[in-house]
Amino acid sequence: MITHEPTVFIVDDDAAVRNSLMLMLEQVGMRVRSFEHANAFLSAYHPDFFGCIIIDVKMPGMNGLRLQEELTWRKIELPVIFLTGHGDIPMSVRAIRGGAVDFLTKPVIREKLLVCVHAAFAEAKKNISDFARNKEMVSCLMKLTDREREVMTLAVQGHSNKQIACCLGISHRTVEIHKSKIMQKTGASNLLDLARIARECDLNE
């Protein structure tokens, strides 16, 4: 679990813009790291990176939208804020559809930037929390026996105990015992809760 303070990662080929953004953010106590192009960030990236990333759209080499796609492909879950002096509606729509927190135009208003960064930090913390919860649920599912997984799969599909017993060739009472153990191991409080856990863990078998 990542516990250090979030960092704002800035990727912009304009040194003056990088320095201006760093000054605005550091003045309110935020941690900042800057990179002059996309490949510099990707080369420096480490799985411990936590926070958000501010990306200029038009840069030499890999542009901002392409970097956003690369982050998605590499499963780098840093919330993205775009900042550009050459934005247009189709470009902003593409960015937002790609998961960007916001699409700001230069020169950016300090208050607007800070609101966006705080929103991005909140999203980053939620991502970490969701990942930890999902990992815990997967760990719980790993404790199930093969038979318990079979019973669980049929149960969350809406089958009754009688139908599950018939399908698996076991007694109604045995199904009840398996379901009780499944609830205990997964921490589910009811069938709806169990179905949510199965869905979030992508239990398709």
Q: What is the 3-state secondary structure (H, E, C) of 39-100?
A: HHHHHHCCCCCCEEEEEECCCCCCCHHHHHHHHHHCCCCCCEEEEECCCCHHHHHHHHHCCC
CATH 1.10.10.10 fits 143-200, yes or no: yes
Residue 169 pLDDT greater than 60, yes or no: yes
Q: How confident is the model at residue 205 (pLDDT cuts 50, 70, 90)?
A: very low
Task: Tell me, yes or no, if the two domains 7-133 and 143-200 fold the same way.
Answer: no
Distances (CA, A) of 46 to 43, 49, 50: 9, 6, 9
Nearest residue to 13 (alpha-carbon basis) of 58, 74, 69, 67: 58
Report the candidate in 5, 54, 50 with the shortest Cα–Cα distance to residue 31. Answer: 5
* Residue ranges per structural domain of the chain: 7-133, 143-200
Residue spans of beta strands (DSSP E) within 89-133: 102-105
Q: What is the pTM of this model?
A: 0.66
Q: What is the mean pLDDT of the chain?
A: 86
pLDDT tens digits, 55-66: 998 899 999 999
User: Does the pLDDT of residue 196 top 90, yes or no?
Assistant: no
Whats the size of the chain, residue-wise? 205
* Cβ 148 vs Cβ 194: under 8 Å: no
Decide if pLDDT at 132 tops 80. no
Which architecture, in CATH terms, is 7-133? 3-Layer(aba) Sandwich (3.40)
